[in-house]
Chain A
Amino acid sequence: MNNAIEIRGLVKAYPGFQLGPLDLTVPRGAIYGLIGPNGAGKTTAIDMIFGMGSNDAGQIRVLGLDHRSDEVLLKRRAAYVSPDLSFQVWGKVGKTIRFVRGFYPGWDDAYCGALMKAFHLSDSDRVATLSFGARTKLSLLLALARRPEVLILDEPTTGLDAVSRQQVFSELLKAVEDGERTVLISSHGLSDIERFADHVGMIRSGKLLLEGRTDEVVDRYRLAEFFTADGATLQSPEPEGLIILKWNENRWHALLDRNSGALNWLETNGAQQISLTRVTLEELFVALAKEEEGEGA
């Protein structure tokens, strides 16, 4: 079994919003970045993997286990960190750790100690007075020290400074080092995702827009600049794979999908001096989000 998480045909409808039908494939051993605009359905999807909320249709399998019928086993082997988790009632960090570890036979004390050091946490710290970043690191530590086979993180780096973000990703890379463990992470930190995530999936309006190896996804697109003859405009509608971003008289900027026939279409439809530039994941994200808003052509 090469996939840690497989989501097939997942549907969840709310008044005014529908997630899906959604297919998502997270390969084992990977760090998978789930990205998408606010309200795209990332948290809804993640919550449902972990049995929070029931889906209307479709299937979720984690490590081959059905998320409903094998829920207990799944929760033993997978861990989930949400930005909403709070451990304040336990007082001190040490007490919190001693409480949580009791639930997990696989708890790794040595690893927990190493994480404490890496995250600059100490047993005697009061949870209530921890900074926002330190609290996030504590939730992450409590999940990692269980040595889960699948770790699901909902926006773990929101609000963290650059140093803390690097500490977090450094630990995530260590966590997947044996090639057996898998991390699914949703984030708006797109430069982090581009650098650290092996695979990426983008959700927009409840649907999966693209998914694949991060380098391949990014390399598939180019920013295109081209010119049209004076007074001439592009024949519309533009083909699939071409999103016009802006234009000024006869000068055009567009996002171009190299797996589509868009370049060929441009060449045969009056575009001249076409030049192509690589994009970052962030630029790709912005261009694709724009398309939805209808700000394009």
Chain B
Amino acid sequence: MTHERQSWLIGPISAAAGGTLYQQIVDRLKREVSEGRLKPGAALPSFRHLAEELLVSVITVKRAYEELEREGIIFRRQGLGTFVAEQGHDRSCEAKVAAAKDLLREGFREAAEAGLKPAEMFDLAREILKEKKAL
């Protein structure tokens, strides 16, 4: 292709994965920021460029950017582009902790429905943490 390509990689977006496509883009970008691959001040591709890269509609990426902007993870400068915010890393981590809490809550509810007592749930959690592969 003659089009210049930024080496830009976020996890694949798929209709078969959970959540809407725009939500998946939000999650993937948060992961890049929280794991430090995208540092504060780093420029993001234009949403039209990212749409082309991910093969999704422009509006899907636009909506993902808007949400990340609302959460303070990225910011836009008119005419310059979109960048990772200074507090982007912290905000992404906060969002991830909140998501982890929700998942744990769901896990504990399942365990409770299976008749496990709190002590047994702790054991289970400890067991999972030991399986390093899972992390």
Residues of A within 8 A of B (CB): 29-31, 110-111, 113-114, 117-118, 166, 169-170, 173-174, 176-179, 191, 195-199, 213-215, 278
Contact = CB atoms under 8 A, between A and B. Distances in A.
Contacts of A198: 57-59
A297 B51 CA distance: 41
Interface in B1-15: 1-3, 15
B60 A114 contact: no
A197 B3 contact: no
A191 B20 contact: no
Residues of A contacting B: mostly: helix
Interface string B46-90: 001101100111111001000000000000000000000000000
A113 B2 contact: yes
Contacts of A179: 48
A195 B1 contact: no
B59 A177 contact: no
Contacts, number: 56
A278 B1 CA distance: 38
Contact of A215 (B2, B22, B51): B22
B26 interface: no
Contacts of A176: 48, 58
B55 A30 contact: no
A114 B1 contact: yes
Please name the 8 residue pairs, one residue from A and one from B, whose CB atoms are nearest each other, closest first: A198-B59, A173-B52, A114-B2, A177-B48, A198-B57, A196-B57, A198-B58, A174-B52
A215 B60 contact: yes
A31 B103 CA distance: 37
